[in-house]
Amino acid sequence: MSPSLSDDRPLYHQLADSFAEAIHQGTLKPGKRLPAIRRVAQTRQISINTVLNAWQLLEDRGLIEARPQSGYYVRSVLPAVTPPAPHRARIKDPSSEKLDLIDQVFAAQNHPDYINISLACPQDGELYPSARLGRITASLLRRSPDLIGRYALPPGSERLREEIARRALHGGMSLTSDAITLTHGCMEALQLALRAVTQPGDCVGLESPTYFFLFPLLASLGLKALEIPTDPQHGLSLDALEMLLQEKRIQALIAMPSAQNPLGCCMSRQNKQRLATLVNAYQVPLLEDGLYDELQFDWPLSPAVKSFDSDGWVIYCTSFTKTVAPDFRIGWIAAGRFHEAVARLKAVSSMAESRLLSETLAEFLANGGYDHHLRTLRRRYAANMDEARGLIARYFPQGTRATLPRGGFVFWVELPQRVDTVAMFRRLLQEQICVTPGALYSLSERYNHALRLSCCYPFDERYTWALKRTGAIACELAGLAPGNDQGLPLRPQTV
Ligand SMILES: Cc1ncc(COP(=O)(O)O)c(C=O)c1O
């Protein structure tokens, strides 16, 4: 890996090539941090600028990436998922088989003995600020035992809503606490918004692929789903959306413009602005699901579509499920022009959130180090994503593609077309491994060869084995060798 004096290419080129070789040969593995620039300069007796130029060259080649305040890391070499072939959006109801499959996957996800490499819920105690929350809750109860003796009627804890309004500024949203209603998770926020803006029989536009619980949610409200083409890198197709709006084919739209589930993609700021302009111009409500917004890897965060909302047609829905505590079930909604209607529906839905947990969360947001916690999560998920993609590149069949998310902890993997991932899901359950098949994320058959995977778990021997084993079964079903011909991984004794 040493630059040679007999080579007449610039030194930085030689240095970049020697590191590129180490990356290609697997000596430097995806997700690994490159040595510090100053150290490389010292040990090789070259200038810091030479090393910097080499790193920039490697970055241009897509081999490494810079992470703010952390250094340079090796990227994985998986090919990207290609945009879907253009398809005409069709209205559909979920078939009973699809709803059954959702139930089966949900049951498997809840099985305590399964190794879940798909679950969109952090599976490591360290990923939640449990100790700090415990201290705050205990102290609150000690000081105000009456907290648990009263309802926090809608719109919910004033202090928490003030904290939320303050934090919403990071997403470019200037909201007052009065514009916010607390909800029972993001799911209730979405449901209240749908009930406020649609009538049974209406049609709701969705990204394709999309979060699979939206299908039963729409069906339960008598609503129809219309899937809109979504680019794995750039998000919802705004041209397709504009056509649907012109033809008045949808009465509402649900989208995840940042760190979309399952693709992980983020829309550009410009596209977010255009999306806000479109829904305001056509007066069709957008339910912006911002669940992963605070987990975008880039800081400052890319703004929410809601921040460009001129006339209140964007309804922002989110929760603290992915960042603080899924068990708290605390979410919120800023429903714009539908605020009153949503607040009334909330009162006759789940009525109130827990006062104790709302005040605990408010105190944590105000003084508990939430920003530090978020920075740790972002760094960790970005590194985990590389680690997972690196394993997939090595152990999944040749021709496997994956998305390269810019936030969150879920991503999308497309296997060779002949692999039926529902069959694969069933096969993996026999080995107590749980994945979510692509068929769940659409009412079409378009994604029957895809999987949604996640990386919010520790990369210990158990999870690493499950990922390799999933790759091995995919190779078997595809009749293809793994990406780098390593052979099938065996189950380690300790698993
Ligand atoms: C995109 C998306 N929206 C909503 C939800 C539901 O969130 P909550 O658990 O806060 O109700 C999830 C859960 O995974 C999700 O991924």
User: In whole angstroms, what is the distance from residue 44 CA to residue 51 CA?
Assistant: 10
User: In whole angstroms, what is the distance from residue 122 CA to residue 456 CA?
Assistant: 5
Q: What is the pLDDT of residue 495?
A: 32
Whether 486 has a pLDDT exceeding 50, the answer reads no
Q: What is the pLDDT of residue 436?
A: 97
Ligand 1 proximity of 454 Cβ (cutoff 6 Å): no
Q: What is the pLDDT of residue 87?
A: 65
293 CA → ligand 1 middle, Å = 12
- Quick: pLDDT tens for 70-104: 889 888 777 788 877 766 666 667 788 888 999 99
187 CA → ligand 1 middle, Å = 6
Residue 261 Cα: closest atom of ligand 1 = 1
Ligand 1 proximity of 210 Cβ (cutoff 6 Å): no
Mean pLDDT within 15-29: 81
CA–CA distances in Å: residue 172 to residues 232, 269, 337: 24, 11, 19
Contact 207, 226 (CB under 8 A): no
Residue 321 Cα: closest atom of ligand 1 = 10
Query: β-strand 91-92 against 224-231: which pairing, if any?
Result: antiparallel
Mean pLDDT within 268-285: 98
- Quick: pLDDT tens for 391-402: 898 899 998 999
Residue 472 binned pLDDT confidence (cut-offs 50, 70, 90): very high
Ligand 1 proximity of 256 Cβ (cutoff 6 Å): yes
Q: What is the pLDDT of residue 494?
A: 37
Ligand 1 proximity of 207 Cβ (cutoff 6 Å): no
Ligand 1 proximity of 433 Cβ (cutoff 6 Å): no
Q: Where are any strands of DSSP class E within 373-487?
A: 401-402, 410-414, 433-434, 436-437, 450-454
Q: Which of 213, 409, 436 to mutate to test the pocket of ligand 1 (most atoms within 8 A of CB)?
A: 213
Sheet holding 401-402: strands in order across?
401-402, 410-414, 450-454, 436-437
Of the CA atoms within 13 Å of residue 260, those in its CB half-sphere come to 27
106 CA → ligand 1 middle, Å = 13
- Quick: pLDDT tens for 176-205: 999 999 999 999 999 999 999 999 999 999
CATH topology for 11-74 is Arc Repressor Mutant, subunit A (1.10.10)
Residue 318 Cα: closest atom of ligand 1 = 10
Whether 150 has a pLDDT exceeding 50, the answer reads yes
Ligand 1 proximity of 321 Cβ (cutoff 6 Å): yes
325 CA → ligand 1 middle, Å = 12
Q: What is the pLDDT of residue 9?
A: 73
Q: Which of 186, 316, 318, 411 to mutate to test the pocket of ligand 1 (most atoms within 8 A of CB)?
A: 186
361 CA → ligand 1 middle, Å = 18
Give the closest residue to 320 by CA, choosing from 292, 347, 341, 348: 292
Residue 319 Cα: closest atom of ligand 1 = 10
Structural domain boundaries in the chain: 11-74, 91-126+372-478, 130-370
Residue 273 binned pLDDT confidence (cut-offs 50, 70, 90): very high
Contact 368, 375 (CB under 8 A): no
Mean pLDDT within 412-418: 95
Angle between helices 37-44 and 48-60 (to 10 degrees): 120
Ligand 1 proximity of 182 Cβ (cutoff 6 Å): no
Residue 184 Cα: closest atom of ligand 1 = 11
Helices and strands in the chain, H and E counts: 15, 17
Give the closest residue to 414 by CA, choosing from 342, 478, 370: 478
- For the domain covering 91-126+372-478, report its CATH number: 3.90.1150.10
CATH class given for the domain over 130-370: alpha beta
291 CA → ligand 1 middle, Å = 7
Q: What is the pLDDT of residue 493?
A: 35
Same fold, 11-74 and 130-370: no
Residue 187 Cα: closest atom of ligand 1 = 11
- pTM of the entire predicted model: 0.85
Ligand 1 proximity of 185 Cβ (cutoff 6 Å): yes
Mean pLDDT within 158-179: 97
Percent of the chain with pLDDT over 90: 75
Ligand 1 proximity of 186 Cβ (cutoff 6 Å): yes
